[in-house]
Amino acid sequence: MQAARMDDGTLLIADVAVPEPGPDQALVRLTASGVCHSDLHLARGDWMGVPGTGLLGHEGIGVVEALGPGAERYVAPGERVILGLGGAGGAYWCGACEYCLGGEPRLCDHSQALMGTFAEYIAVYAPALVRLPDSITDREAPLACGGLTAYGAVKKLIAHQVMPGRRVAIIGAAGGLGHYAVQIASAFGYEVVGVDVGADRLDFVRSLGASHAFEAGDALASIQGLGGVDASLVFSAKMVGFDLGFNALRKGGLFVAVALPATSEGNISINPFAFFAKGATLIYSAVGSVADMRDLVALVDAGKVRTHIGREGSLSELDTIFHELEAGGYLGRAVITDLAG
């Protein structure tokens, strides 16, 4: 089969063996794979300490073709599924520790990252798979990480007592994850303030349901003119986006970091006196749970959320798509729909 992998910093599309499903694994024939910004970071070696070698891709939709021992408890051959926990922790988790039982499987000591959806087949931990209704097309493959991560971040608002009806800022609102968050937060009943760069992107954010859409350079003054926000969800992979998210908060607000900037962006820097005066709560939100994915699938099935596809292509175009993503060449997400080409 064809698969994309990094080898010493070089992206290769090569023939590799079709994997055999092991215990509790299903072999899935992939029909579409989303291109996540995390894939680009991995391909560029942006994260210090994260190796730039190995298979790429962690968002996928496909059809179950074969089962390893024990996997019949979870799925059956012929079922159409989405990877319900792409990326961090998505390849395995124990299911019994305090983190798994608390809905944070990526923190499990035994968790393993899921990679390898830029390929024709993947052998995947069967409990991570979620069945799809016919109404959800292959073009929704980016839900597997991008959509799920946005859903998990919005859910954190309720967990921290920022209830529907309150005003929340989404920094990087037109991006691959941010455009999901705008739709999800709007569906939950929040007053959404979207922040991005460029008139076309702001128009896009408004079309998704945002109550306000501000240019990044003017956003702080505009948000302060509204009285600030009760929470900021930061999907921008730039440190200026983190600074904006913190500074836009009302006193006692909630700061939710979602993006994972390149190591070269440096560290989060907060003045202790400003932190003291603001009385803010700072948390990080990553991915979600398989239960969250089932909830998200129901939202998509109900027409509340959709993936905006700005680029579609074949596996052989992956390097070009990475360059376009790096340059901000399209809105929303890219999807690989020909994994053999």
Q: What is the 3-state secondary structure (H, E, C) of the chain?
A: CEEEEEECCEEEEEECCCCCCCCCEEEEEEEEEEECHHHHHHHHCCCCCCCCCEECCCEEEEEEEEECCCHHHCCCCCCEEEECCCEEEEEECCCCCHHHHCCCHHHCCCCEEECCCCECEEEEEHHHEEECCCCCCHHHHHHHCHHHHHHHHHHHHHHCCCCCCCEEEEECCCCCCHHHHHHHHHHHCCEEEEEECCHHHHHHHHHCCCCEEEEHHHHHHHHHHHCCEEEEEECCCCHHHHHHHHHCEEEEEEEEECCCCCHHHCCCCCCHHHHHHHCCEEEECCCCCHHHHHHHHHHHHCCCCCCCEEEEEEHHHHHHHHHHHHCCCCCCEEEEEECCC
Please choose, from the candidates 98, 95, 237, 254, the residue with its C-alpha nearest in 3D space to the C-alpha of residue 169: 254
Q: Which residue has the tokens 């941010």?
A: 178
pLDDT-derived band of residue 113, with 50, 70 and 90 as boundaries? Answer: confident
Residues 115-140, mean pLDDT to the nearest whole number: 95
Residues 94-118, mean pLDDT to the nearest whole number: 89
Residue type, 71: A
Residues 217-221, mean pLDDT to the nearest whole number: 96
pLDDT-derived band of residue 52, with 50, 70 and 90 as boundaries? Answer: low
Please choose, from the candidates 123, 142, 3, 127, the residue with its C-alpha nearest in 3D space to the C-alpha of residue 59: 142
pLDDT at 14 over 70: yes
Length, in residues, of the chain: 341
Distance of alpha carbon 94 from alpha carbon 105, whole angstroms: 8
CB 141 within 8 A of CB 32: yes
Residues 112-116, mean pLDDT to the nearest whole number: 88
Q: Which residue has the tokens 């003017």?
A: 218
pLDDT-derived band of residue 170, with 50, 70 and 90 as boundaries? Answer: very high
Residue type, 30: L
What is the CB neighbour count within 10 angstroms for residue 13?
A: 17
Confidence at residue 86, expressed as pLDDT on a 0 to 100 scale? 60
User: Which residue intervals of the chain bear CATH 3.40.50.720?
Assistant: 148-284
User: How much of the chain, in percent, has pLDDT values that exceed 90?
Assistant: 72
Distance of alpha carbon 208 from alpha carbon 10, whole angstroms: 37
Structure confidence by residue, pLDDT tens digits, 269-316: 899 999 999 999 999 998 888 889 999 999 999 999 999 999 999 999
pLDDT at 155 over 70: yes
User: Which residue intervals of the chain bear CATH 3.90.180.10?
Assistant: 2-145+287-338
pLDDT at 164 over 70: yes
pLDDT at 261 over 90: no
CB 140 within 8 A of CB 312: no
Please choose, from the candidates 114, 37, 26, the residue with its C-alpha nearest in 3D space to the C-alpha of residue 334: 37
- Note the CATH number of domain 2-145+287-338: 3.90.180.10
- Note the CATH number of domain 148-284: 3.40.50.720
Q: In the numeric block, which tokens belong to residue 79? A: 């079922």
Q: In the numeric block, which tokens belong to residue 276? A: 């003291």
Give the mean pLDDT of the chain: 92
Residue type, 185: A
